[in-house]
């Protein structure tokens, strides 16, 4: 059974939607020219949070063991496995 590809707010598949979202945000803020550790686009259920992996390792590593970091574990999302 074929499953239709997931679509986002503007009807685009996830990779196209994310590319358009980031390009639009960069046009407003020029974030690609900045040395960021974390930034958020929008608020609420539709928010998108982007973090530098080294920042997450350092920050969360103070409280929890970082067992693994898996880029593109779920579509374009990175999975981080932490241990208490």
Bridge partners, residue 50, by sequence: 39
Q: What pLDDT sits at residue 1? A: 46
> What residue has token string 């970082």?
66
The secondary structure of the chain in percent helix, strand, coil, rounded to multiples of 5, reads 35, 30, 35
Distance (Å, whole) CA 59 – CA 41: 21
Q: pTM score, two decimals?
A: 0.60
Answer whether 78's CB lies under 8 Å from 70's CB.
yes
User: pLDDT higher for 2 or 13?
Assistant: 13
Query: Tens digit of pLDDT for each residue in 14-65?
Result: 677 778 888 888 888 887 888 878 888 888 887 888 888 888 888 888 899 9
């Amino acid at each position: 059974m074929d499953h239709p590809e997931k679509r986002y707010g503007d009807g685009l598949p996830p990779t196209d939607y994310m590319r358009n979202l980031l390009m639009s945000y960069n046009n407003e803020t020029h974030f690609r020219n900045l040395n960021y550790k974390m930034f958020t686009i929008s608020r609420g259920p539709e928010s998108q949070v982007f973090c530098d992996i080294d920042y997450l390792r350092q920050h969360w590593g103070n409280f929890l063991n970082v067992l693994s970091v898996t880029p593109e574990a779920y579509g374009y999302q990175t999975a981080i496995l932490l241990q208490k």
